[in-house]
Amino acid sequence: MADVINHVLNTMLGLNAPEWLIIFISNSIAVTLIFAIAPLQMLFMTYFERRAIARMQDRLGPNRVGPKGIFQPVADGVKMFTKEDIVPTAADKMVHLLAPCVVAAPVMFMFAVIPWGPGMYAVDLDTGLLFFFAISSVSAVGLMMAGWASYNKFALLGAMRAVAQMVSYEVPALISIAVIVMLTNSMSIVSIIEAQSGLFISQVDVAGIPDLGLGWFIFSPVGLLGFICFFIAALAEGERTPFDIPEADSEIVAGYMTEYSGMKFALFFLAQYLLNFLLCAITVITFFGGWQGPGISWLWSMAVSEANPAGNPIFNVLAGILGTFYFLAKTYFFFFVMIWIRGAFPRLRVDQLMGFGWKFVIPLTIVNIFSASLWIGWIRWELNPDLAFLSALGEPYSFARWGFAFVATLVMNVAAYTLMTRINRSPDETIDELVADQVFGAVTLR
């Protein structure tokens, strides 16, 4: 952003603006854009989810306000604004007021490191990926505040469930993302996307074939297992349906949101939908190449960039539009998968949720780390100076090595997956064993 502003102000208009002014203007524009785009995403997502889930449940969904009901979220927003703000008498007023802000603010922070297209990011932190997850864990504090300050048992139970779930599913999410950090050698989100250019034969450049932007990590066995584990953890972090026990409406009304109304409730809602959007976005960025896709690198090679200052700004715009299209299309596909899962699966119990996280997902991610290190070792062992002579063996050799690494890690991951499903299979206990268990256990059924 800063180099574009610099180009416009100093080169094109000749204003000779100082550096701090350029940085200030570019950051202001980025922040304004984020604050304008994020609520719009949320509006569209609520509409999209309601229509999609209605279609799956053989209903129509909202279809009255505007063509096909597209203005329904706006009407909902107006309704939220005009609702009375009710605070329980026994509530802790200050904490009750602060809680929605503490939940919503980290989500807006997380947008800062998301790249929408080539060169379209607010900041490129060296530790961007870690920043994303660190700042998302702050909202757990907000949930606790909401649950406690409401002075309501449902709210407190919901907050406890939400926080327990978030804390325990953060572990598999971070471990499966660590695999990507190992593969790219970087925690910067921009360089993670740039590492996924080229062909789907990851890490091997084939001469004579153009850069199709298809070197996504999902096409390696390591990335595939990482994606499965990460997406499950993302469902739990975003409180999506198989794991929506914190706000299970048939059990605890609306969880931590029970005592909130009007715009405070809307803030929780906003935070939740934006978190879902961001989790889909980070899935796309780490495993599906972000804005990478056919045609991007061709357009970007002609645009104004650090490597090519003499480019044409039109191609910046074109590459940006195409990149944003790829990014949003993939992100909304994964949001659709979330809705799809909501339409297809019943809710888990709390103990099932914890058991699934700790006994199934976490062991798989740990196996995945192991196979990722083997994969990296096999793919890149000529980087070791002692083994440099191997790179002289030429292309067929490196293809063979790539194929061997692919098959070996695939076998390892599939074996781990099968083993984990076998271990975690619900035991086929006979009724006698159940009776024995009950007799040993409590007296209630005797």
Partner 1 sequence: MELLIQIIFVLISTLILGAAVMVVRTRNVIHSALWLIASFFGIGALYLLLEAEFLAIAQVLIYVGAISVLILFAIMLTHNVTSGEGHKFYQRWWLALLVSLMLFAVILVPTLVGQDWTITARPSEESAIAGAVEMGTAFMREYLLPFEIAAVLLLVALTGAIVIAYEERAQRRRILTLAQELALRKQQQQNHAEE
The residues of the shown chain that bind partner 1, judged by CB under 8 A, are 92, 95, 125-127, 130-131, 133-135, 137-138, 140-141, 144-145, 148, 156, 160, 163, 167, 170, 187, 349, 351, 431, 434-435, 437-438, 440-442, 444-446
Identify which of residues 160 and 304 has a Cβ nearer to partner 1 in the complex.
160
Identify which of residues 389 and 440 has a Cβ nearer to partner 1 in the complex.
440
Identify which of residues 298 and 358 has a Cβ nearer to partner 1 in the complex.
358
Identify which of residues 109 and 298 has a Cβ nearer to partner 1 in the complex.
109
Identify which of residues 219 and 256 has a Cβ nearer to partner 1 in the complex.
256
Residue 41, CA distances (Å) to 46, 164, 295, 365 in order? 9, 28, 26, 31
Write out the two tokens for 412: 């390892």
- What is the nearest approach in angstroms of partner 1 to the Cβ of residue 300? 27
- What is the nearest approach in angstroms of partner 1 to the Cβ of residue 140? 5
Task: Work out the number of other CB atoms within 10 angstroms of the CB of residue 111.
Answer: 23
Distance CA 426, CA 392 (A): 53
* Coil, strand or helix at 167: helix
Residue 270, CA distances (Å) to 21, 267, 273 in order? 33, 5, 5
Identify which of residues 77 and 357 has a Cβ nearer to partner 1 in the complex.
357
Identify which of residues 14 and 427 has a Cβ nearer to partner 1 in the complex.
427
Identify which of residues 125 and 212 has a Cβ nearer to partner 1 in the complex.
125
- What is the nearest approach in angstroms of partner 1 to the Cβ of residue 147? 9
Distance CA 384, CA 380 (A): 8
- What is the nearest approach in angstroms of partner 1 to the Cβ of residue 333? 29
- What is the nearest approach in angstroms of partner 1 to the Cβ of residue 102? 9
- Exposed/middle/buried for residue 208 (C-beta within 10 Å: 0-12, 13-18, 19+): exposed
> E strands of 349-402, at which residues?
none
Contacts of 285 (CB under 8 A, 6+ apart): 114, 115, 189, 192, 193
- What is the nearest approach in angstroms of partner 1 to the Cβ of residue 156? 7
- What is the nearest approach in angstroms of partner 1 to the Cβ of residue 155? 12
Q: What is the total residue count of the chain? A: 446
- What is the nearest approach in angstroms of partner 1 to the Cβ of residue 338? 23
Looking at the chain, the number of H-run helices and the number of E-run strands are 17, 0
Residue 66 — left, alpha, or beta (φ > 0 → left; ψ -120 to 50 → alpha)? left
* Coil, strand or helix at 113: helix
Outline where 57-194 has alpha helix (H): 72-82, 93-110, 128-136, 139-149, 153-184, 189-194
